[in-house]
């Protein structure tokens, strides 16, 4: 019987993220969480003689959420430029998962042509001891894996 090696489970705290905007690369050391999802779009396929409806994949859509500590004005400044000029901004988001305790190596995913849905214009919370955060939903239209985890070995 095969068992998972506990040390191979990848720690989420060992992640790194980088954003490339207008040719400039910035490490998102102030990122707290990122999660991106690829969802297939499907068309219904009615099939004669069957009571259910089949499904045919016809495309996909990428979306995600980036949560950062609230101490950079970069995204607000880019949104302000959009508000004032109508010039939208797109960026690539690279996420690296590499836990040195795991034998699986690293995975590097790149979300391309990301576009923010919203940013917080201003924020404070006088009643909280927690640091300020902002959650920024986004979409993306391309995806690459630069590095893939190694296949896990069983114990």
Cβ(98)–Cβ(106) below 8 Å: yes
**Is 100 contained in some domain?**
yes
Closest CA to 22 of 121, 89, 95: 89
**Is 33 contained in some domain?**
yes
Q: How many CB atoms neighbour CB 9 within 10 A?
A: 13
**Is 21 contained in some domain?**
yes
Higher-confidence residue: 2 or 22?
22
**Is 77 contained in some domain?**
yes
Q: Which domain holds residue 136?
A: 6-147
Query: pLDDT at residue 66 above 70?
Result: yes
Rounded CA gap, 67 and 15, in Å?
Answer: 14
Q: What is the pLDDT of residue 133?
A: 96
Instruction: Give the number of domains in the chain.
Output: 1
Query: pLDDT at residue 155 above 70?
Result: no
CATH number at residue 57: 2.30.110.40
**pTM of this structure:** 0.90
**Is 155 contained in some domain?**
no
Q: What is the pLDDT of residue 122?
A: 96
Express each pLDDT in 127-152 by its tens digit: 999 999 999 999 999 999 999 999 88
């Amino acid at each position: 019987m095969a068992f998972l090696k506990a040390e191979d489970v990848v720690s989420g705290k060992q992640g790194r993220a980088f954003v490339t905007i207008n040719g400039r690369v910035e490490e998102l050391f102030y990122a707290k969480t990122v999660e991106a999802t690829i969802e297939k779009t499907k068309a219904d396929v009615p099939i004669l003689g069957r009571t259910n409806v089949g499904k045919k994949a016809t495309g996909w859509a990428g979306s995600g959420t980036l949560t950062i500590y609230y101490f950079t004005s970069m995204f607000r400044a880019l949104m302000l430029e959009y508000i004032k000029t109508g010039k939208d901004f797109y960026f690539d988001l690279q996420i690296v998962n590499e836990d040195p305790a795991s034998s699986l190596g690293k995975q590097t995913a790149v979300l391309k042509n990301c576009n923010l849905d919203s940013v917080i214009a201003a924020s404070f919370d006088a009643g909280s001891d927690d640091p300020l955060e902002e959650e920024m939903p986004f979409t993306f239209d391309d995806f690459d894996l630069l590095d893939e985890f190694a296949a896990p070995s069983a114990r």
